[in-house]
């Protein structure tokens, strides 16, 4: 009872307008996705959860709402709390489904106990084709929801509305966002609130836990200081020197604890490729690798040996290979490579048919989202921003070492400033895409064309009526009639300078002769023609 949380909402459709773009949103209605009381408190009492984990857990399983939002900092135990909630729902007879933006996160969900775990993209595809069905007994957990783009998030919630399914969105909108247009998760958190998980549990040391929270909440200078104080920031004259320090440190650590899993993060593929090659050379010099074989990959030709670390950039489901998997090469037989994944599975593929692989010692920060690793190394460059820095500095459990070049980053103040840089300007819901821009332009052209056609029709009608009645009008009345008719025709188009233009058509003060009448007629037609032409510009 004391942990019941109000930050859960149902998936009833509402429409919110962002800068001319209609975006689906979701508000509150009860739909009774409750777990029986025994399952709720058995799971909560007999597992070790913090108070905020219990609060988030109960907000999902014990309030009968259709949509629950969990927002947690990196390493706050979101996955563990999800596992508790999943168990409670399964024991109550619900069909629980785990979804994620990437194969890596989906595989981790399966490893954590989700019987059904896949990418949101493949799930929506099957729903569309009819090979997947959800209903009122379906409960859907979405991990790393901050990485979900708007179209897929909208698709999921719309399907859930129709089926009456429960959805639990779990993520951190301060970490890496989707490559496509995103921001819906963050907007829902702002609009409706969320169960907050702020107690960091991933790191071993208390100072590192506090630093992770500081990174999450934007206090970069404060977060960096303990890493500097504990000797975890290594400075070189330039970035190339920082790479050398990183490789040397990695080699020393490998000498001390060869069994420990370690990974290197960098910003660009160029730096990743260079670091992979140099780290592999360290192992070659030690004689830890077998005979080298050359392979053509999607990122160029590489040498690969038995005992090499390997990672995958593409997916081949029949072979059990998913983008983001990593492992160790066990055997090379011609073009065939056998690798033992870190999850324990053995995969075998032909390099002539599948080329989405490479060395697995280093990777971009994007590949680290959602991962926990024992020891990490991070090469900082000035192109870093708040999202990549936050993710890179919070992946480790035991140790993280940062490498910096003073040529571009002279001191910790500059380091904090570069790390805290914001490259995005908020949710992309506030901005239109190229496709939407083209649609609006098309609609604008259509509206203008309709307006021009209506005006031309009005002008023709006016001309006929004027020609028929002008013989009975005084010159002054004719001009006034012309002005009023034109004013009514153009009023809906919002022409601010209308009165100024009409002022040029002055009522006559002298008695009209035949020549004067002809001049007025020409003046009138020219004036109307100018107004019509102006609309086509």
- Where residue 529 falls among pLDDT bands split at 50, 70, 90? low
pLDDT at 214 over 60: yes
Q: What is the pLDDT of residue 373?
A: 86
| pLDDT mean across residues, the chain | 80
Name the CATH architecture for the domain at 206-424.
3-Layer(aba) Sandwich (3.40)
Cβ pair 303, 283 in contact under 8 A: no
- Residue for token digits 């933006």? 101
Q: Give the separation between CA 206 and CA 214, rounded to whole angstroms.
A: 12
Distances from the Cα of 207 to the Cαs of 214, 221, 375, 398, 411, in angstroms? 10, 14, 16, 12, 21
pLDDT at 442 over 80: no
pLDDT at 498 over 90: no
List b or e across 47-62, with b for residues whose CB sees 16 or more CB atoms inside 10 angstroms: eebbebbbbbbbbbbb
pLDDT at 203 over 50: yes
Name, in order, each residue with C-beta under 8 angstroms of 317's C-beta and a sequence gap of 6 or more.
Answer: none
The correct answer on CATH 3.40.50.300 for the domain covering 20-197 is yes
Q: Which has more confidence, 431 or 148?
A: 148
| CA terminus-to-terminus distance, the chain | 67
Q: According to the per-residue pLDDT averaged within each range, which of 35-49, 247-261, 485-499 is highest? A: 247-261
- Write out pLDDT tens, residues 280-320: 999 999 999 999 999 999 989 999 999 999 999 999 989 99
Q: Mean of the pLDDT values across residues 168-187?
A: 82
pLDDT at 462 over 90: no
Q: Give the separation between CA 78 and CA 169, rounded to whole angstroms.
A: 11
pLDDT at 343 over 70: yes
Q: Give the separation between CA 377 and CA 261, rounded to whole angstroms.
A: 12
Cβ pair 238, 408 in contact under 8 A: yes
Q: Which has more confidence, 515 or 28?
A: 515
Q: Give the separation between CA 89 and CA 10, rounded to whole angstroms.
A: 17
The reply to whether domains 20-197 and 206-424 share a CATH topology is yes
Cβ pair 203, 226 in contact under 8 A: no
Q: What is the pLDDT of residue 476?
A: 67
Q: What is the pLDDT of residue 264?
A: 96
Residue-by-residue DSSP string for 394-448 = T-EEEEEEEEEETTT--SHHHHHHHHT---S-S-GGGS--HHHHHHHHHHHHHHH
Q: Give the separation between CA 80 and CA 474, rounded to whole angstroms.
A: 89
Domain residue ranges of the chain, discontinuous segments joined by +:
20-197, 206-424, 435-482
Point out the least confidently predicted range of 236-240, 252-256, 400-404: 252-256
- Where residue 269 falls among pLDDT bands split at 50, 70, 90? very high
Residue 479: helix, strand or coil by DSSP? helix
- Where residue 409 falls among pLDDT bands split at 50, 70, 90? very high
pLDDT at 7 over 90: no
pLDDT at 511 over 60: no
- Write out pLDDT tens, residues 107-140: 889 988 999 999 999 999 999 999 999 999 999 9
Q: What is the pLDDT of residue 487?
A: 65
- Where residue 249 falls among pLDDT bands split at 50, 70, 90? very high
């Amino acid at each position: 009872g004391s942990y019941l949380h109000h930050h859960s909402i149902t998936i009833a459709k509402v429409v919110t307008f962002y800068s001319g773009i209609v975006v689906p949103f979701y508000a509150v209605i009860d739909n009774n996705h409750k777990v029986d009381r025994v399952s709720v408190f058995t799971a909560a009492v007999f597992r070790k959860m913090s108070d905020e984990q219990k609060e988030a857990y109960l907000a999902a399983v014990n309030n009968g709402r259709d949509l629950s939002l969990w927002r947690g900092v990196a390493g706050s135990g979101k996955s563990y709390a999800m596992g508790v909630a999943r168990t409670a729902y399964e024991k109550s007879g619900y069909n629980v489904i785990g979804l994620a933006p990437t194969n890596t996160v989906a595989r981790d969900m399966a490893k954590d106990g989700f019987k059904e775990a896949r990418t949101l993209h493949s799930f929506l595809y099957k729903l569309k084709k009819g090979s997947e069905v959800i209903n009122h007994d379906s409960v859907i957990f979405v991990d790393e929801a901050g990485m979900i783009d708007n179209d897929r998030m909208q698709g999921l919630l719309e399907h859930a509305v129709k089926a009456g399914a429960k959805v639990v969105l779990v993520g951190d909108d301060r970490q890496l966002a989707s490559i496509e247009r995103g921001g819906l998760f963050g907007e829902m958190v702002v609009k409706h609130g969320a169960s907050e998980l702020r107690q960091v549990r991933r790191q071993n040391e208390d100072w590192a836990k506090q630093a992770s929270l500081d990174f999450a909440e934007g206090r970069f200078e404060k977060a960096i200081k303990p890493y500097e104080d504990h000797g975890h920031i290594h400075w070189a004259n330039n970035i190339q020197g920082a790479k050398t320090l990183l490789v040397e440190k990695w080699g020393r650590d490998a000498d001390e604890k060869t069994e420990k899993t370690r990974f290197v993060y960098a910003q660009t593929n160029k730096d990743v490729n260079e670091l992979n090659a140099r780290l592999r050379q360290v192992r070659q010099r030690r004689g830890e690798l077998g005979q080298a074989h050359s392979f053509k990959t999607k990122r160029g030709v590489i040498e690969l040996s038995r005992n090499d670390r390997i990672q995958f950039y593409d997916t081949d489901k029949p072979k059990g290979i998913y983008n983001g998997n990593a492992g160790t090469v066990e055997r090379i037989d011609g073009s065939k490579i056998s690798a033992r994944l870190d999850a324990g599975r053995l995969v075998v593929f032909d390099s002539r048919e599948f080329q989405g692989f490479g060395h697995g010692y280093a990777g971009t920060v994007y590949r680290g989202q959602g991962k926990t690793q024992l020891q990490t190394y991070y090469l900082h460059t000035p192109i870093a921003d708040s999202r990549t820095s936050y993710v890179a500095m919070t992946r480790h459990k035991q140790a993280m070492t940062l490498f910096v070049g003073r040529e571009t980053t002279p001191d910790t103040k500059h380091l904090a400033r570069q790390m805290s840089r914001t490259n995005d300007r908020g949710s992309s819901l506030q901005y239109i895409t190229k496709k939407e821009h083209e649609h609006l332009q098309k609609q604008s052209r259509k509206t203008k064309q309709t307006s021009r056609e209506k005006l031309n029709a009005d002008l023709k009608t006016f001309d006929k009526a004027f020609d028929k009645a002008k013989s009975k009008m005084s010159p002054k009345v004719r001009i006034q009639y012309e002005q009023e008719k034109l004013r009514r025709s153009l009023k809906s188009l919002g022409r601010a300078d209308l009165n100024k233009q009409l002022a040029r058509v002055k009522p006559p003060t002298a008695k009209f002769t035949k020549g004067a009448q002809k001049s007025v007629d020409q003046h009138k037609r020219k004036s109307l023609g100018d107004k019509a032409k102006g609309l086509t510009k």
